[in-house]
């Protein structure tokens, strides 16, 4: 996990780094916010086939990137360390579930509910920190978590069932982030190992589809056949942008930028694909949005206080 330094006011170089980092951060989260359009463009493929293609093409793209950077020294150490391999096997499983549920949700017209998962993800991270890292909830964090919980309960009562898509996405990605926080590999290295562990099961599945005569790719329309291999690029490129941003801006800035992605997904679901958003759902989402406003405001205030103390020291 990257920990970017606090940016000092009055230093032109730091300001330029901040501006560049901000642009990369906006680009990363905007790309993630626009992903539903990409998945819907190739929805002629079943969700499981899209997932398999994403795993395979992501690894191929990352191998090209690692070859270009000549970053292979880490691999031998990782393969010999059982703890590293077990950690990344678990994160690979979590990532597979997260990707699979998200792709299915997008193509099954549940983009709005999928966006819920990434709205509440920061609050899930806080909860996981309390449960597994011994962190303590500050007063306003407790208020934010409580408001979000009430929102989820309201949606559950209103619709008669848990919003399982959003909760699955939030908790799989939150747990994934928790494990990756203590994992030793850098972001691109870790993703390469994860996709490497996913690669052979995905490849076997895709070969099975071809042999069974049920595979859509590469037998689809030319545009679809062109877009499917770009799944690797769509997966890795925003991550590279995010990694660059994380080195250049504060965690508070990243915390604010992260809402670009679910906001984009939400708007695409409602405005582009016409998913229903009745008043009952609006009430539940509004409670969650209030929770996020409280959570983000508290982070901004604490960050400003820390900067003031740093400047005075």
Predicted pLDDT of residue 303: 76
Supply the range of the domain harboring residue 79: 12-312
Please give the residue that has the higher pLDDT: either 15 or 31. 31
Predicted confidence band at 181 (pLDDT cuts at 50, 70, 90)? confident
Model pLDDT for residues 81-121, shown as the tens digit of each residue: 999 999 999 999 999 999 999 999 999 999 999 999 999 98
Q: Do the Cβ atoms of 295 and 141 come closer than 8 Å?
A: yes
Tokens at residue 310, please?
């740093």
Tokens at residue 109, please?
């017209």
Predicted pLDDT of residue 256: 81
**How many whole angstroms separate alpha carbon 294 and alpha carbon 286?**
12
Predicted pLDDT of residue 93: 96
Q: Do the Cβ atoms of 200 and 21 come closer than 8 Å?
A: no
Site of tokens 């690029």: 233
The pLDDT > 90 percentage for the chain reads 55
Is 48 within a domain? yes
Task: Please compute Rg for the chain using Cα positions.
Answer: 20
Cα 311 to chain centroid, rounded: 34
Predicted pLDDT of residue 247: 75
Predicted confidence band at 221 (pLDDT cuts at 50, 70, 90)? very high
Tokens at residue 173, please?
């990605």
Per the structure, the count of domains in the chain is: 1
**How many whole angstroms separate alpha carbon 96 and alpha carbon 172?**
9
Is 6 within a domain? no
Is 64 within a domain? yes
Is 5 within a domain? no
**How many whole angstroms separate alpha carbon 184 and alpha carbon 84?**
8
Predicted pLDDT of residue 92: 95
Please give the residue that has the higher pLDDT: either 86 or 302. 86
Handedness of CA 94, 71, 238, 259 (dihedral sign): positive
Predicted confidence band at 213 (pLDDT cuts at 50, 70, 90)? very high
Is 77 within a domain? yes
Decide if pLDDT at 61 tops 50.
Answer: yes
Is 1 within a domain? no
Is 221 within a domain? yes
Please give the residue that has the higher pLDDT: either 217 or 254. 217
Please give the residue that has the higher pLDDT: either 29 or 137. 29
What average pLDDT does the segment 31-47 reach?
Answer: 95
Is 107 within a domain? yes
The pLDDT > 70 percentage for the chain reads 93
Model pLDDT for residues 260-280, shown as the tens digit of each residue: 999 999 999 999 999 999 888
Nearest to 178 by CA among 128, 230, 223: 128
Predicted confidence band at 32 (pLDDT cuts at 50, 70, 90)? very high
C-alpha distance from residue 262 to each of 34, 118, 160 (Å): 9, 6, 24
Decide if pLDDT at 53 tops 70.
Answer: yes
* Mean pLDDT, rounded, of the chain: 87
Decide if pLDDT at 15 tops 70.
Answer: no
């Amino acid at each position: 996990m990257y920990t970017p330094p606090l940016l000092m006011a009055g230093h032109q170089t730091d300001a330029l780094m901040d501006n560049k980092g901000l642009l990369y951060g906006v680009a990363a989260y905007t790309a993630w916010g626009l992903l539903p359009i990409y998945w819907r463009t190739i929805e002629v493929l079943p969700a499981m086939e899209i997932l398999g293609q994403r795993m395979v093409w992501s690894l191929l793209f990352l191998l090209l990137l690692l070859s270009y950077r000549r970053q292979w020294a880490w691999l031998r150490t990782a393969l010999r360390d059982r703890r590293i391999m077990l950690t990344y096997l678990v994160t690979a499983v979590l990532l597979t579930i997260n990707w699979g549920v998200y792709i299915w949700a997008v193509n099954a017209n549940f983009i709005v509910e999928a966006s819920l998962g990434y709205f509440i993800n920061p609050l899930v991270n806080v909860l996981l920190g309390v449960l597994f890292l011994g962190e303590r909830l500050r007063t306003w964090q407790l208020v934010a978590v409580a408001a979000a919980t009430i929102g989820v309960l309201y949606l559950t009562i209103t619709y008669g069932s848990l919003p399982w898509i959003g909760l699955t996405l939030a908790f799989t990605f939150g747990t994934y982030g928790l494990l990756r926080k203590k994992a030793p590999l850098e972001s691109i290295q870790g993703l390469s190992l994860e996709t490497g562990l996913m690669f052979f099961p995905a490849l076997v599945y895709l070969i099975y589809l071809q042999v069974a005569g049920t595979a859509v790719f590469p037998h689809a329309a030319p545009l679809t056949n062109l877009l499917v291999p770009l799944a690797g690029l769509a997966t890795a490129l925003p991550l590279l942008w995010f990694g660059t941003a994380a080195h250049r801006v504060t965690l508070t800035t990243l915390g604010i930028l992260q809402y670009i992605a679910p906001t984009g997904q939400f708007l695409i679901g409602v405005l582009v694909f016409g998913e229903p958003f009745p008043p009952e759902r609006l009430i539940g989402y509004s409670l969650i949005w209030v929770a996020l406003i409280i959570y983000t405001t508290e982070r901004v205030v604490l960050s400003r206080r820390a900067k003031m103390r740093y400047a005075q020291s």
